[in-house]
Chains A and B, each alone.
Chain A
């Protein structure tokens, strides 16, 4: 019954590796997001897709690449991982982008640790 799910929950890897985080929502929502929450607990938007189209692409290194194979999935691939990439990454979804239908529902998060 999980609404927004992410895998893996924990990811520990070496600098320079490439890794992916998967996100799926079963809410029938049209919009999905990726956020990064650093050690100071700021939640920062990275990307957003609406109906599989990229609508937000913040100032994120191009080592980060989102992929949305369909409306229910938004995956995040990270190349050449760096120490500063260590954070918790949250996926979220909303029915739409505006009004109360723009309320975002978050996945459980993926804690990424780069050694």
Chain B
């Protein structure tokens, strides 16, 4: 079957670092994406990993281990505006279908 697991909710403090984990089991693998979704808005693209290792983009970094079926999104220097849901998504072989996790709701407190 195909499954993506993420924690449902996380809380962190402004200025801190938070790591959101994602584990997946899919029929084939052709890339992993992280999206941010604020309440009532559309998902917006954050990062893409297809090879093992860390991709860094400003305050956000994403890590992938294909052998472990594992990824994480690291958010540094948290800001209040980072309060949102973070969706992990995996594209299957052939590239046509992307499976989304249920998302992790991150609450950033002062």
Contacts and interface: CB of A to CB of B under 8 A. Distances in A.
Contact-size category for A: 20 to 34
A102 B31 contact: yes
Nearest to A96: B95
B91 to A, nearest CB: 6
Contacts of A41: 85, 102-103
Contacts of A42: 100, 102
A48 B45 contact: no
Interface residues of B, number: 23
A43 interface: yes
Interface string B40-81: 011111001010000000000000000000000000000000
A41 B45 CA distance: 17
Contacts, number: 56
B30 interface: yes
Contacts of A56: 96-97
A98 B41 contact: no
Nearest to B4: A42
Interface string A83-115: 000000010000011111011111111000000
A45 B98 contact: yes
B45 A105 contact: yes
A111 to B, nearest CB: 9
Contacts of A48: 96-97
Most chain A beta-carbon neighbours within 10 Å: one of B50, B85, B98, B100: B98
- Interchain residue pairs A-B with the least CB separation, the first 3: A98-B95, A106-B42, A43-B100
